[in-house]
Amino acid sequence: MDRRTFLKAAAAAPCIFGLRELFAQEADKGSEWYRQALARMKERKLHGVVVIAPEPEADQLALGRQLWDLLDGDFPEAHELFLTGVFVVMTPALAESSGVRKADDKADRILLDPDGKRIAADTRDPNAFETAERFVKAFGPFLHGDAGERLKPRADELLASAPADVVTRLRDLAAEDIETRERATGTLAAWAEKFVPLYVWKRRTATDPEVRARLLAIIERNYLAAPKDKPGARLPFGTRVPIFAGAGCGGLREVIEGDKEDTGRMVACGMARVEEPKIRMFLRFLAK
Protein backbone atom coordinates (compact mmCIF):
# COMPACT_ATOMS: atom_id res chain seq x y z
CA MET A 1 0.00 0.00 0.00
CA ASP A 2 1.48 3.37 -1.01
CA ARG A 3 1.48 6.44 1.25
CA ARG A 4 -1.46 8.14 -0.50
CA THR A 5 -3.68 5.05 -0.21
CA PHE A 6 -2.76 4.61 3.45
CA LEU A 7 -3.63 8.22 4.30
CA LYS A 8 -7.00 7.92 2.56
CA ALA A 9 -7.79 4.74 4.48
CA ALA A 10 -6.75 6.32 7.79
CA ALA A 11 -8.90 9.37 7.17
CA ALA A 12 -11.91 7.15 6.44
CA ALA A 13 -11.38 4.87 9.44
CA PRO A 14 -13.27 7.00 12.00
CA CYS A 15 -16.30 7.04 9.72
CA ILE A 16 -16.14 3.32 9.02
CA PHE A 17 -15.60 2.11 12.56
CA GLY A 18 -17.31 4.92 14.49
CA LEU A 19 -14.04 6.07 16.03
CA ARG A 20 -14.89 9.72 15.59
CA GLU A 21 -17.95 9.34 17.82
CA LEU A 22 -15.92 7.32 20.32
CA PHE A 23 -13.22 9.99 20.47
CA ALA A 24 -15.88 12.68 20.92
CA GLN A 25 -17.39 10.79 23.84
CA GLU A 26 -14.00 10.36 25.48
CA ALA A 27 -13.24 14.06 25.09
CA ASP A 28 -16.61 15.18 26.44
CA LYS A 29 -16.54 13.96 30.05
CA GLY A 30 -18.13 17.08 31.43
CA SER A 31 -16.50 19.35 33.98
CA GLU A 32 -12.92 18.90 35.11
CA TRP A 33 -14.07 18.12 38.63
CA TYR A 34 -16.30 15.34 37.28
CA ARG A 35 -13.33 13.83 35.47
CA GLN A 36 -11.50 13.95 38.80
CA ALA A 37 -14.39 12.09 40.45
CA LEU A 38 -14.22 9.40 37.76
CA ALA A 39 -10.46 9.13 38.29
CA ARG A 40 -10.97 8.69 42.04
CA MET A 41 -13.48 5.87 41.44
CA LYS A 42 -11.08 4.08 39.13
CA GLU A 43 -7.98 4.60 41.27
CA ARG A 44 -9.63 3.49 44.53
CA LYS A 45 -11.93 0.91 42.89
CA LEU A 46 -15.00 2.47 44.49
CA HIS A 47 -18.52 2.86 43.17
CA GLY A 48 -19.83 6.35 42.55
CA VAL A 49 -23.15 7.81 43.64
CA VAL A 50 -24.47 10.74 41.61
CA VAL A 51 -27.17 12.77 43.35
CA ILE A 52 -29.14 15.11 41.09
CA ALA A 53 -29.81 18.37 42.92
CA PRO A 54 -33.28 19.92 42.64
CA GLU A 55 -33.81 22.93 40.40
CA PRO A 56 -35.41 25.45 42.82
CA GLU A 57 -32.97 27.58 44.81
CA ALA A 58 -34.82 26.97 48.08
CA ASP A 59 -34.67 23.20 47.60
CA GLN A 60 -30.97 23.36 46.76
CA LEU A 61 -30.34 25.32 49.94
CA ALA A 62 -32.24 22.72 51.98
CA LEU A 63 -30.22 19.87 50.45
CA GLY A 64 -26.99 21.82 51.00
CA ARG A 65 -27.81 22.21 54.69
CA GLN A 66 -28.68 18.54 55.09
CA LEU A 67 -25.45 17.49 53.41
CA TRP A 68 -23.40 19.78 55.62
CA ASP A 69 -25.07 18.40 58.75
CA LEU A 70 -24.30 14.83 57.68
CA LEU A 71 -20.71 15.54 56.74
CA ASP A 72 -19.87 17.73 59.71
CA GLY A 73 -21.89 16.00 62.43
CA ASP A 74 -21.11 13.08 64.71
CA PHE A 75 -22.42 10.37 62.39
CA PRO A 76 -19.69 7.75 61.88
CA GLU A 77 -21.93 5.19 60.16
CA ALA A 78 -22.93 7.81 57.59
CA HIS A 79 -19.30 8.81 57.16
CA GLU A 80 -18.46 5.19 56.27
CA LEU A 81 -20.50 5.61 53.10
CA PHE A 82 -18.65 8.77 52.09
CA LEU A 83 -15.35 6.91 52.59
CA THR A 84 -16.34 3.78 50.66
CA GLY A 85 -18.06 5.50 47.75
CA VAL A 86 -17.41 8.56 45.61
CA PHE A 87 -20.33 10.96 46.04
CA VAL A 88 -21.11 13.48 43.30
CA VAL A 89 -23.83 16.14 43.31
CA MET A 90 -24.91 17.55 39.95
CA THR A 91 -27.46 20.05 38.75
CA PRO A 92 -29.82 18.60 36.11
CA ALA A 93 -28.08 20.61 33.38
CA LEU A 94 -24.65 19.31 34.34
CA ALA A 95 -25.91 15.73 34.58
CA GLU A 96 -27.19 16.00 31.02
CA SER A 97 -24.09 17.70 29.61
CA SER A 98 -21.84 15.11 31.28
CA GLY A 99 -23.81 12.21 29.86
CA VAL A 100 -24.89 10.96 33.28
CA ARG A 101 -28.60 11.46 32.63
CA LYS A 102 -30.71 12.14 29.55
CA ALA A 103 -33.06 15.11 29.40
CA ASP A 104 -36.19 12.96 29.80
CA ASP A 105 -34.73 10.80 32.57
CA LYS A 106 -36.43 11.32 35.95
CA ALA A 107 -33.93 9.38 38.06
CA ASP A 108 -32.27 11.59 40.68
CA ARG A 109 -29.90 8.98 42.13
CA ILE A 110 -27.46 7.13 39.87
CA LEU A 111 -24.93 4.42 40.69
CA LEU A 112 -21.69 4.15 38.71
CA ASP A 113 -19.25 1.26 38.79
CA PRO A 114 -15.55 1.99 39.41
CA ASP A 115 -15.05 2.47 35.66
CA GLY A 116 -17.74 5.15 35.59
CA LYS A 117 -20.39 3.01 33.89
CA ARG A 118 -23.99 3.60 34.97
CA ILE A 119 -25.31 0.38 36.55
CA ALA A 120 -28.40 1.51 38.50
CA ALA A 121 -30.68 4.50 38.91
CA ASP A 122 -33.85 5.37 40.76
CA THR A 123 -35.76 8.14 42.51
CA ARG A 124 -34.41 8.59 46.01
CA ASP A 125 -36.43 8.98 49.18
CA PRO A 126 -37.04 12.77 49.40
CA ASN A 127 -36.32 12.59 53.14
CA ALA A 128 -33.12 10.53 52.79
CA PHE A 129 -30.82 13.39 53.81
CA GLU A 130 -32.86 14.61 56.77
CA THR A 131 -31.13 12.38 59.35
CA ALA A 132 -28.09 10.14 59.44
CA GLU A 133 -30.28 7.11 60.09
CA ARG A 134 -32.41 7.77 57.00
CA PHE A 135 -29.32 8.44 54.91
CA VAL A 136 -27.66 5.16 55.90
CA LYS A 137 -30.88 3.21 55.37
CA ALA A 138 -31.44 4.75 51.92
CA PHE A 139 -27.90 4.90 50.57
CA GLY A 140 -26.16 1.94 52.22
CA PRO A 141 -27.95 -0.75 50.18
CA PHE A 142 -27.87 1.43 47.05
CA LEU A 143 -24.08 1.84 47.24
CA HIS A 144 -22.98 -1.53 48.65
CA GLY A 145 -25.92 -3.82 47.81
CA ASP A 146 -28.54 -5.25 50.14
CA ALA A 147 -26.08 -7.84 51.48
CA GLY A 148 -22.91 -5.84 50.85
CA GLU A 149 -22.28 -7.69 47.59
CA ARG A 150 -20.55 -4.67 46.04
CA LEU A 151 -18.42 -3.99 49.12
CA LYS A 152 -17.28 -7.56 49.83
CA PRO A 153 -15.26 -8.09 46.60
CA ARG A 154 -13.29 -4.91 47.26
CA ALA A 155 -12.71 -5.96 50.87
CA ASP A 156 -11.56 -9.42 49.77
CA GLU A 157 -9.19 -7.87 47.23
CA LEU A 158 -7.68 -5.61 49.89
CA LEU A 159 -7.36 -8.48 52.36
CA ALA A 160 -5.51 -10.57 49.77
CA SER A 161 -3.00 -7.76 49.19
CA ALA A 162 -2.70 -6.62 52.83
CA PRO A 163 0.64 -6.98 54.61
CA ALA A 164 0.83 -9.73 57.20
CA ASP A 165 0.88 -7.16 59.99
CA VAL A 166 -2.56 -5.82 59.00
CA VAL A 167 -4.05 -9.32 58.79
CA THR A 168 -2.59 -10.19 62.20
CA ARG A 169 -3.79 -6.98 63.83
CA LEU A 170 -7.32 -7.49 62.53
CA ARG A 171 -7.34 -10.75 64.47
CA ASP A 172 -5.71 -9.10 67.49
CA LEU A 173 -8.64 -6.72 67.90
CA ALA A 174 -10.40 -9.59 69.66
CA ALA A 175 -7.41 -10.55 71.84
CA GLU A 176 -7.90 -11.20 75.54
CA ASP A 177 -5.42 -8.60 76.83
CA ILE A 178 -5.93 -4.87 76.41
CA GLU A 179 -2.32 -4.23 75.39
CA THR A 180 -2.65 -6.42 72.30
CA ARG A 181 -5.95 -4.80 71.34
CA GLU A 182 -4.47 -1.32 71.75
CA ARG A 183 -1.42 -2.24 69.66
CA ALA A 184 -3.68 -3.65 66.97
CA THR A 185 -5.77 -0.47 66.95
CA GLY A 186 -2.69 1.70 66.49
CA THR A 187 -1.34 -0.37 63.62
CA LEU A 188 -4.66 -0.53 61.80
CA ALA A 189 -5.18 3.21 62.20
CA ALA A 190 -1.86 3.82 60.46
CA TRP A 191 -3.03 1.76 57.45
CA ALA A 192 -6.60 3.09 57.37
CA GLU A 193 -6.24 5.34 54.33
CA LYS A 194 -5.60 2.29 52.14
CA PHE A 195 -7.78 -0.32 53.83
CA VAL A 196 -10.98 1.48 54.90
CA PRO A 197 -13.28 -0.67 52.69
CA LEU A 198 -11.80 -3.78 54.32
CA TYR A 199 -12.27 -2.32 57.81
CA VAL A 200 -15.88 -1.39 57.03
CA TRP A 201 -16.65 -4.92 55.85
CA LYS A 202 -14.95 -6.45 58.89
CA ARG A 203 -16.86 -4.13 61.21
CA ARG A 204 -20.19 -5.02 59.67
CA THR A 205 -19.55 -8.77 59.83
CA ALA A 206 -17.83 -8.94 63.24
CA THR A 207 -19.73 -10.56 66.10
CA ASP A 208 -17.57 -9.08 68.86
CA PRO A 209 -18.99 -5.68 69.93
CA GLU A 210 -15.56 -4.38 70.95
CA VAL A 211 -14.10 -5.26 67.56
CA ARG A 212 -16.95 -3.39 65.88
CA ALA A 213 -16.46 -0.38 68.16
CA ARG A 214 -12.69 -0.24 67.62
CA LEU A 215 -13.02 -0.50 63.85
CA LEU A 216 -15.71 2.19 63.80
CA ALA A 217 -13.43 4.50 65.79
CA ILE A 218 -10.52 3.84 63.40
CA ILE A 219 -12.72 4.52 60.36
CA GLU A 220 -14.09 7.74 61.85
CA ARG A 221 -10.60 8.96 62.73
CA ASN A 222 -9.61 8.44 59.11
CA TYR A 223 -12.68 10.39 57.96
CA LEU A 224 -11.90 13.31 60.26
CA ALA A 225 -8.34 13.43 58.90
CA ALA A 226 -9.59 14.01 55.35
CA PRO A 227 -9.54 17.63 54.09
CA LYS A 228 -12.82 19.55 54.34
CA ASP A 229 -12.00 21.99 51.55
CA LYS A 230 -11.09 19.54 48.77
CA PRO A 231 -13.39 17.11 46.92
CA GLY A 232 -13.32 13.71 48.54
CA ALA A 233 -14.85 11.97 51.54
CA ARG A 234 -15.74 15.19 53.40
CA LEU A 235 -16.73 17.30 50.40
CA PRO A 236 -18.72 15.60 47.62
CA PHE A 237 -17.61 16.34 44.08
CA GLY A 238 -19.71 19.09 42.55
CA THR A 239 -20.09 21.00 45.82
CA ARG A 240 -18.28 23.90 47.43
CA VAL A 241 -18.23 25.53 50.84
CA PRO A 242 -19.76 29.02 50.54
CA ILE A 243 -17.69 32.09 51.31
CA PHE A 244 -19.01 34.74 53.69
CA ALA A 245 -18.06 38.38 54.12
CA GLY A 246 -18.96 41.12 56.57
CA ALA A 247 -22.33 42.75 56.06
CA GLY A 248 -21.95 45.54 58.57
CA CYS A 249 -22.54 45.68 62.34
CA GLY A 250 -20.99 42.25 62.75
CA GLY A 251 -23.40 40.56 60.35
CA LEU A 252 -22.40 38.23 57.52
CA ARG A 253 -23.51 37.77 53.93
CA GLU A 254 -22.72 35.10 51.40
CA VAL A 255 -20.29 36.12 48.66
CA ILE A 256 -21.85 34.98 45.40
CA GLU A 257 -19.47 33.51 42.82
CA GLY A 258 -18.21 36.27 40.55
CA ASP A 259 -18.83 39.08 43.06
CA LYS A 260 -16.17 41.68 43.62
CA GLU A 261 -14.72 41.93 47.11
CA ASP A 262 -16.71 45.09 47.91
CA THR A 263 -20.09 45.43 46.22
CA GLY A 264 -21.46 48.12 48.49
CA ARG A 265 -23.79 45.81 50.37
CA MET A 266 -22.67 46.88 53.82
CA VAL A 267 -25.54 48.15 55.92
CA ALA A 268 -25.62 51.09 58.30
CA CYS A 269 -25.25 50.38 61.99
CA GLY A 270 -28.35 50.44 64.16
CA MET A 271 -27.72 50.85 67.89
CA ALA A 272 -30.93 49.05 68.82
CA ARG A 273 -30.59 46.31 66.21
CA VAL A 274 -31.43 42.82 67.45
CA GLU A 275 -28.42 40.54 66.96
CA GLU A 276 -28.71 38.32 63.88
CA PRO A 277 -28.69 34.56 64.38
CA LYS A 278 -25.55 32.70 63.36
CA ILE A 279 -25.64 31.53 59.75
CA ARG A 280 -26.41 27.83 59.47
CA MET A 281 -23.77 26.25 57.27
CA PHE A 282 -24.60 24.60 53.96
CA LEU A 283 -23.00 23.49 50.71
CA ARG A 284 -23.45 25.10 47.31
CA PHE A 285 -23.53 23.13 44.07
CA LEU A 286 -21.27 23.90 41.14
CA ALA A 287 -22.95 25.20 38.00
CA LYS A 288 -20.15 24.26 35.58
CATH number, domain of 91, equals: 3.40.30.10
Among candidate residues 144, 165, 199, the one where a domain is terminated: 144
Question: Which among 144, 177, 193 is the end of a domain?
Answer: 144
Closest CA to 100 of 112, 115, 84, 85: 112
- Predicted pLDDT of residue 104: 93
Q: Which domain holds residue 101?
A: 30-144
Q: Are residues 140 and 48 in the same domain?
A: yes
Check whether residue 135 and residue 162 sit in a common domain: no
Do 87 and 186 lie in a common domain?
no
pTM for the full model? 0.83
CA-closest candidate to residue 151, choices 217, 202, 210 = 202
Please check whether residues 186 and 106 belong to one and the same domain: no
Tell me the CB-side half-sphere exposure of residue 125, using CA atoms within 13 A. Answer: 15
Please give the pLDDT value at position 280. Answer: 80
**Residue 178: inside a domain, yes or no?**
yes
User: Same structural domain for residues 65 and 95?
Assistant: yes
d(CA 262, CA 267): 12
Looking at the structure, tell me whether residues 62 and 91 fall in a common domain: yes
76 belongs to a structural domain:
yes
Is the distance from CB of 220 to CB of 79 less than 8 angstroms? yes
Is the four-CA dihedral 156, 162, 164, 168 of positive or negative sign?
Answer: negative
Q: What's the domain count of the chain?
A: 2
| Domain shared by 131 and 41, yes or no | yes
- 161, 105: one domain: no
Compute mean pLDDT per 10 residues along the chain, 288 residues long, and list them.
49 38 42 96 98 96 97 98 98 95 95 98 97 98 98 98 98 97 98 98 97 98 96 97 70 60 50 51 93
Q: Tell whether 276 is covered by a domain.
A: no
Residue 204 maps to a domain: yes
- Asked whether residue 270 is domain-assigned, the answer is no
Q: Are residues 69 and 45 in the same domain?
A: yes
Task: Please identify, among 100, 120, 144, the residue that sits at the C-terminal boundary of a domain.
Answer: 144
Chain mean position to CA 20: 32
169 part of a folded domain: yes
Is residue 40 included in any domain, yes or no? Answer: yes
Task: Tell me which amino acid residue 163 is.
Answer: P
Same domain, 116 and 184: no
State whether 43 and 140 are in the same domain.
yes
160 and 140 in a common domain? no
Decide if 240 is inside a domain. no
> How far is the C-alpha of 228 from the C-alpha of 148, rounded, in Å?
28
At residue 243, the pLDDT reads: 82
pLDDT score of 256: 67
